Amino acid sequence: MTDNRLLMIVEDDDAFAKTLKRSFERRGYTVLIADSQEMVVQLLADHDPGYAVVDLKLGGQSGLVCVQALHAHDPDMLIVVLTGFASIATAVEAIKLGATNYLAKPSNSDDIEAAFARSGGDTAIPLAPRPTSIKTLEWEHIHEALKDSEFNISEAARRLGMHRRTLARKLAKRQIG
């Protein structure tokens, strides 16, 4: 891994990206901003970041393709995925594709920097016998359908057998960040 403090932020929300950029620059990072997978590839041609923060949902794209590209560029890069659509399915896929951590929004630069520091696993974490509720199962099923339909709400609603507006209302109620 490069020992530099070059950070790439992959975020399509311009205001949030600029806020994160300023915060990390105050912490001594040099920051690059990309808003799509294409821009990530362009920036990687000229730069070698040691850190990356990737939004899971980039407009009509999945941020997971960016995680995959960043990890392919440098397997030692510390990559944190941020999402307002947290689910077990997307967390597992993000880690499989090379992310070192996965955070639900709202998260700030303190949370992200702490996630960079916790890039290894913790075998001492307590295992809590907590049964999954019906609401949690429904939420995970919805997010699995969203992921499979590349975050297309109309297609996910069709796969779930519900009206698109019903799905949109459910997402609006549970969206974090």
pLDDT in tens, the chain (177 residues): 444 799 999 999 899 999 999 999 999 999 999 999 999 999 999 999 999 999 998 887 889 999 999 999 999 999 999 988 778 888 899 999 999 999 988 788 899 999 998 867 666 666 666 666 777 778 878 888 888 888 899 999 999 999 999 998 888 876 544
Q: What is the pTM of this model?
A: 0.70
Q: What is the pLDDT of residue 52?
A: 97
| Cβ within 8 Å of residue 42, ≥6 positions away | 34
Q: What is the pLDDT of residue 146?
A: 85
CATH architecture of 6-117: 3-Layer(aba) Sandwich (3.40)
Q: What is the pLDDT of residue 133?
A: 73
CA angle 56, 59, 63 (to 5 degrees): 25
Domain 134-174 maps to which CATH number in 3.40.630.10, 1.10.10.60, 1.10.150.20, 1.10.3720.10?
Answer: 1.10.10.60
Q: What is the pLDDT of residue 129?
A: 62
- The residue ranges of every structural domain in the chain are 6-117, 134-174
Q: What is the pLDDT of residue 82?
A: 92
